[in-house]
Amino acid sequence: MKKTALSLSVLAALALGSASAQTTVKIATLSPLSGGQSDLGTQIRNGAQLAVNEYKPLFKKIGLDLQLVAYDDQADPATGTAQARKIASDRQILAVVGTLNSGVAIPSSAALAPSHVAMVSPANTANQVTDRGLSNMNRIVARDDAQGPAGANFIARTLKAKKVYILNDKTAYGEGLAKEVEKALKADGVQVVANEGTEEKSDFSSIIAKIKLQRPDAVYFGGIYNQVGVFIKQLREAGINAPVIGGDGLDSSELATIAGQGANDIYFTTVAAPIEALPAAKVFATSFKQTFNDNAQGFGAFGYDAAKVVLQGILDAARANGNKAPSRMQVETAIRKGNFTGLLSGNVTFNSVGDRKSATLYVMNVQGGKYKLATTVPVKPARQ
Amino acid sequence: MDLATLLPFIVNVIVGGLVLGFVYAIIALGYTMVYGVLQLINFAHSEVFVTGAIVGYEVFRVLAPNPMNGYLKLLLALLAAMTVSGVLNVLIERLAYRPLRNAPRLVPLITAIGVSLILQDVLRVIEGFQGRFDLTYILPESFGTRFCAAQSSCAALGNVLRTIGIDLQVKDVILIVVALLSLGGLNYLVNRTRLGKAIRAVAQDRVTAGLMGIDADRMISMTFLIGGALGGISGVLFGLKVGTVNAYSGFDPGIVAFTAAVLGGIGSIPGAVLGGLVLGVIQNLIGVTNIFGQILGSANLQAIDASYQRIGAFLVLVLILIFKPTGLLGKSNVEKV
């Protein structure tokens, strides 16, 4: 009994001691920083870093020292989950900006759910990410079930294709997207000759032979730029000029580089607007270039927005908590219930499962290796 | 679907498989030669091959503004890749495998996997310092044109080839020619020179070869040098064919080429070549099975598309090994007592 009293007083003394100093609060980014998709993952981390730099003084005012910790998920579900467990065990981390890949977000958010570490994704589009109804998983981008129909409508109504060949990369992302596109195309009365999965990254000769044989008006590829770029290059080399349409996985300046001479008639729907399409992002792009000596891309801007949602949520929760570091649970609630303004991509509010109530899809076109905005599509999730 | 459209399609699929098969074949030689002398699967060979691909990329990149002949650039790229990959392979053997020569078989195998992973990240860092990750080959314009295009002097031949479904680019033809020359060169080296004889002797029985005055260590280094140089060549060919490589590109072709080596009979040089070609063609044929399914009206076949390519290749491997455990051209190893 005496012992407990003593240790309690020691604890109290320690707590008082730390109150006079700065309490550290951290947010984490979880995205691929190595491997084939590190280009996009690094954009997310750097965007979040800029938001943290911006919020540091605001946190300092209420006696909190704000830090960002970057975790590398290597675009791999198992690695991402292991990193999520590490994040959960660091009690100073209150929320996470991430991930890039839906396939990584699904197990990682499940690993973080019991400890109520909120995640705000700048990129995950798979329906399952929020459909599981986890209280900690949010996203500021449109869902696949919006991206698929938007891509399909573009193929059917703008490109007026009658016959479409669909490919996917067999990941949660690519396959999910391809399925949605197939459904929407069929509803539009367009003939779908195939919906084929391939993990091949280097030689598409058998697929291209089939495309040559069946002569589709358009090819849809649910996948990531590093694979699709090689495919497009080889497709064009084989003399097939049908437009290739894809999802936001094609959203990288590397796509045109990889496709080389073949970077023509490519369209992709993307949830992360090109920097040029966000009027508010001019200042952001300049400071991004200054800080990281790299050009900001769409995911950089959305990494910034996601981090701002997280930081504003923590700040709101801290203020409601009497300017003390809030608990993870309080942050989770503040993010889900909050109304966030002053972002690059417009205002953010979440529905009951963490989908953004009004999101925008952008259709981009690559012509002669140059990217330009073809059109924008406003989208709303089924649940409001 | 009539024969007039189907025949060029099938030819097209087979030719596509053969072109890639040649790349697999040259990579597979690296696995098979090292296995022949050391009974070691050099898993780092996939990175030796990628090193060649990256060196080739760098040569083409540096020479891009230079107006010299495209074939001269290719020759320089091949020589540079052969040199760097060959020396790298010798170094790997000296540093990682030689100290473990008398260790249990599993130890060098794990070491090889470790070397492979280390090299991947070393390559990534080297390119990363220059802010590059995906490396897209900057090839001379002429490489991308059609072989015997409509305006060229051999247009008649080109038209005939295209009618039957052989629609090649100049770079595909270059790839096949370089691969055949490499195979011819290797064949001459192994079967017609003193060095080749010594390497074969070491492969057969290292101890006895040593007693006959052959420096086994030197021969093993030479094998790694030759295998590495072939890896360098295959890297440049892969770059020609695919167009984009990065530090992690070696894994997939490495696994397929290793499979090809086993399929042909590990340790057998002609076996590796046959295995590579067979695997390339089989992969492509499996990839288009669904088209034949549509023609034959078989729902089961229609379900087999490109997603089954890799699985199918391994299935073929398993089947062949059941009936011929030594691989297509492998010789059965009589246990020495």
Cα–chain-centroid distance for residue A63?
31
| Closest to B94 (Cα-Cα) out of B201, B223, B190, B214 | B223
CB contact under 8 A, A212 and B284: no
The HSE-up count of residue A328 (CA atoms within 13 Å, CB side) is 23
Token reading at A58: 């605001």
Distance from the Cα of B264 to chain A's closest Cα (Å) equals 22
pLDDT single digits (tens) A73-122: 999 999 999 999 999 999 999 999 989 999 999 999 999 999 999 999 99
CB contact under 8 A, B20 and A205: yes
CA separation, residue A80 to residues A45, A68, A197 (Å)? 15, 17, 24
Residue of A nearest to B17 (CA): A205
With residues binned 3-state (H G I as helix, E B as strand, rest as coil), the percentages for chain B, rounded to 5, are 75, 0, 25
Residues of A with CB under 8 A from a CB of B: 34-36, 38-39, 170, 194, 196-203, 205-210, 212-213, 226, 229-230, 233-234, 237-239, 254, 257-258, 260-261, 294
The HSE-up count of residue B53 (CA atoms within 13 Å, CB side) is 33
> Sign of torsion, CA A350 A353 A354 A358?
negative
**Does B118 contact A at CB distance below 8 Å?**
no
Q: Which residues of A touch B5 (CB under 8 A)?
A: 213
pLDDT in the model for residue A144: 80
CB contact under 8 A, B243 and A206: no
CB contacts < 8 A, A to B, total 106
Distance from C-alpha of A310 to C-alpha of B245, rounded to nearest angstrom: 37
User: Which residue, chain included where needed, has tokens 């890949």?
Assistant: A101
Neighbouring CB atoms inside 10 A of A184's CB total: 19
Residue of B120, B136, B142, B295 for testing the chain A interface, max A β-carbons within 10 Å: B136
HEC assignment per residue over B84-151: HHHHHHHHHHHHHHHHHCCCCCHHHHHHHHHHHHHHHHHHHHHHHHCCCCCEECCCCHHHHCECCCCC
Neighbouring CB atoms inside 10 A of B332's CB total: 9
| Contact in structure between B212 and B202 (CB atoms under 8 Å) | no
**Does B324 contact A at CB distance below 8 Å?**
no
The HSE-up count of residue B294 (CA atoms within 13 Å, CB side) is 12
Distance from C-alpha of A201 to C-alpha of A251, rounded to nearest angstrom: 18
| Contact in structure between B264 and B329 (CB atoms under 8 Å) | yes
| Contact in structure between A44 and A97 (CB atoms under 8 Å) | yes
Q: How many helices (H) and strands (E) does chain A have?
A: 13, 14
Q: Which residues of A touch B18 (CB under 8 A)?
A: none
Residue of A nearest to B162 (CA): A238
Neighbouring CB atoms inside 10 A of A133's CB total: 9
Distance from the Cα of A46 to chain B's closest Cα (Å) equals 15
CB contact under 8 A, B283 and A206: yes
Contacts of B187 by beta carbon, 8 Å cutoff, 6+ apart: B269
Distance from the Cα of A223 to chain B's closest Cα (Å) equals 14
CB contact under 8 A, A205 and B13: yes
Distance from C-alpha of A327 to C-alpha of B92, rounded to nearest angstrom: 52
Of A34, A200, A230, the CB nearest to B306: A200
Digitized pLDDT (tens) for each residue of chain A, 384 residues in all: 445 554 545 444 444 444 446 799 999 999 999 988 898 999 999 999 999 999 999 999 999 999 999 999 999 999 999 999 999 999 999 999 989 999 999 999 999 999 999 999 999 988 899 999 999 999 999 888 888 889 999 999 999 999 999 999 999 889 989 999 999 999 999 999 999 999 988 899 999 999 999 999 999 999 999 999 999 999 999 999 999 999 988 988 889 999 998 999 999 998 877 787 787 899 999 999 999 999 998 899 999 999 999 999 999 999 999 999 999 999 999 999 999 998 998 899 999 999 999 888 889 999 999 988 898 888 888 887
**Does B253 contact A at CB distance below 8 Å?**
yes
pTM: predicted TM-score of the whole model, two decimal places: 0.79
Helices (H), B205-334: 206-211, 216-242, 251-264, 269-287, 289-296, 299-302, 309-323
CB contact under 8 A, A209 and B248: no
Distance from C-alpha of A220 to C-alpha of A249, rounded to nearest angstrom: 12
Distance from C-alpha of A357 to C-alpha of A142, rounded to nearest angstrom: 9
pLDDT in the model for residue A21: 61
Helices (H), chain A: 2-20, 38-61, 77-89, 102-112, 128-131, 144-153, 172-187, 205-214, 225-237, 254-259, 282-292, 298-320, 328-337
DSSP structure class, residue B306: G
Distance from C-alpha of B112 to C-alpha of B252, rounded to nearest angstrom: 16
Of B253, B290, B305, the CB nearest to A202: B253
User: Which residue, chain included where needed, has tokens 């305006």?
Assistant: B151
pLDDT in the model for residue B1: 64
pLDDT in the model for residue A18: 46
Residue of A nearest to B251 (CA): A201
pLDDT in the model for residue A19: 45
DSSP structure class, residue A356: B
Token reading at A111: 């690993």
Residue of A nearest to B170 (CA): A237
CA separation, residue A74 to residues A103, A119, A177, A278 (Å)? 12, 18, 22, 29
Digitized pLDDT (tens) for each residue of chain B, 337 residues in all: 677 788 899 999 999 999 999 999 999 999 999 999 999 999 999 999 999 999 999 999 999 999 999 999 999 999 999 999 999 999 999 999 999 999 998 999 999 999 999 999 999 999 988 888 899 999 998 898 888 888 888 888 888 888 888 989 999 999 999 999 999 999 999 999 999 999 999 999 999 999 999 999 999 999 999 999 999 999 999 999 999 999 999 998 999 999 999 999 998 999 999 999 999 999 999 999 998 888 888 888 888 888 898 888 788 889 888 998 888 888 765 554 4
